Amino acid sequence: MAIGYEHVTAEPVARLIDEFNRLPGIGPKSASRLAFYLLRAKPEQAQRLAAAIIEMKEKTVLCSRCFNITVEDPCVICRNPGRQVQQLCVVEEPLDVVALERTGEYKGLYHVLHGAISPVEGINPEDLKIRELMDRLKVEPVEEVIISTNPNLEGDATAAYLAREIIPLGVRVTRLARGLPMGSDLEYADEVTLGRALQGRRDM
């Protein structure tokens, strides 16, 4: 019988490897490398990492208005009186807000859905912050909703669903221009391409 690493690795190390392995983008090999690196690192470094993780979990919440991740609720963007409240940009993930802010082209507000419709994964409209978006549209003076979901099938399905729900309210619905390559993720787009996609958005 082959002896796996779990038999020769001390239980606390194996447990950390296991936890790393659960993280997105980290396979068993990277997980072991990270764990053994920390095993050899100074105790302070390990403590700083542990503290940073705990602090992040304890001190961040979702903004009650746009659902972006924030320390203070509402978030800095929602609190900023200089932002244009007539424009609302809908994105899948908090990272997409970061990408769009980097372009410096957009001065409106955001709404983070926390995912995209994916029927096969069991992700339906009710699992996203769509009801919250519709509630916002009833009370906020939004004139244009810019749908910036990813340029893939899930993103397109989500955009089509939102357009179907929002257009009857008399609000203009636009979608980012097709400058972005099909199948890619918004968070990987460079500022120039993304800025251009924003300028060239079209009505749905």
Partner 1 sequence: MRDRLYSTPALIIRRSDVGEADRLLTIYTPQLGKLTVAARGVRKTSSKLAGHLELFVHTQLQLARGRSLDVVTESRVSDHFATLRSDLDRISVAYYVAELLDKMTPEQSDNSALFRLTRDVLAAIDRESTTARRDVVLRFFELHLLSLSGYRPHFFHCAVCERELDQSADRFSPAAGGVVCANCVARVTGTLPLSLSAFKLLRYLLRGGIDDALALNVSPELAQEAGFILRVALKQVLERELKSVEFLNLLRG
The footprint of Zn ion (CB under 5 A) covers: 63, 65-66, 74-75, 78
Buried (b) or exposed (e) across 173-194, using 16+ Cβ within 10 A?
bbbbeebbeeeebbbebeeebb
The entry of Zn ion, partner 1, none that residue 170 binds, CB within 5 to 8 Å by partner kind: none
Residue with tokens 């038999």: 7
| Residue selected from 12, 48, 164, 169 as contacting partner 1 according to rule CB under 8 A | 164
| Residue selected from 72, 121, 135, 203 as contacting partner 1 according to rule CB under 8 A | 121
Span near partner 1 by CB under 8 A; candidates 67-75, 117-125, 137-145, 167-175: 117-125
Residue with tokens 């997105």: 24
Contact 116, 92 (CB under 8 A): yes
Rule CB under 8 A: say whether 156 interacts with partner 1: yes
Span near partner 1 by CB under 8 A; candidates 1-9, 66-74, 84-92, 155-163: 155-163
Span near partner 1 by CB under 8 A; candidates 63-71, 72-80, 104-112, 154-162: 154-162
Residues 6+ apart with CB under 8 A from 142: 85, 86, 87, 88, 136, 171
The dihedral sign for the CA sequence 17, 35, 71, 184 = negative
| Residue selected from 72, 135, 190, 203 as contacting partner 1 according to rule CB under 8 A | 190
| Residue selected from 12, 15, 18, 27 as contacting partner 1 according to rule CB under 8 A | 27
- How many Å apart are CA 42 and CA 145, to the nearest integer? 50
The entry of Zn ion, partner 1, none that residue 63 binds, CB within 5 to 8 Å by partner kind: Zn ion
Could you say which DSSP state residue 9 is in? S
- Minimum distance, C-beta of residue 29 to partner 1, in the bound complex (Å): 12
15 token code pair: 């447990």
The entry of partner 1, Zn ion, none that residue 120 binds, CB within 5 to 8 Å by partner kind: partner 1
